[in-house]
Amino acid sequence: MTEKLATKRNPPKWSLWLRGLDEWLLIFQKVSGAILAIYLIGHTLVISTALGFGHPSQLTWERVIGLIEGPRVVGVAHVGTIIEYLIALLVAVHGANGVRLILMQYFGLGLPKPERHTYPMIPSPRKSPQLVYKYLVIAVVIVFIILASYVAFVG
């Protein structure tokens, strides 16, 4: 017998996943989560240093924050401001999509009740509650971008 049974699975069809919003949101949630987790570590260390590890003073604060912020680049905004702005954007999308997932999986909001089939059959990711959720997520993110841009660059 020259035939041998395969040990590797057939490769997946990437085209199937590249055109679904849910698939992109899943990747985004993971990637933004990783970035935000690293940011949390950095931010806690920076702020704790700036607060003098329990001995807060104006001098320590201003020296550390001045160092971290970097030079001014856009209007009143420093380099540090831009970075924090982008992080805040990540938080907005991660948070809005996360709330959608939590409401769905913990409270069952937006999950259709199983029913007898009506035709044409529409799978639950394509039914209207999911679409409402996604539009809400987009709306929340847009509002957030407007407010954040004002606070960072204009205020």
Restricted to residues 49-108, the positions that interact with other proteins (CB under 8 A) are 51-56, 58, 61-62, 65, 69, 76-78, 81, 84-85, 88, 91, 95, 98-99, 101-102, 104-108
Helices then strands (H, E): number in the chain?
5, 2
Q: Could you tell me which of 29, 8, 9, 26 has the C-alpha nearest to residue 17?
A: 26
Span 6-35, contacts to other proteins by CB under 8 A: 6-13, 15-17, 20, 22-23, 26, 29-30, 33-34
CA atoms of 147 and 152, how far apart (whole Å)? 9
For position 37 contacting other proteins by CB under 8 A, the verdict is: yes
Say how many residues touch other proteins, by CB under 8 A: 78
Which residue in the set 71, 86, 93, 111 belongs to the binding site for other proteins (CB under 8 A)?
111
Which residue in the set 74, 126, 128, 132 belongs to the binding site for other proteins (CB under 8 A)?
126
CA atoms of 117 and 74, how far apart (whole Å)? 57
The one-letter amino acid at 116: R
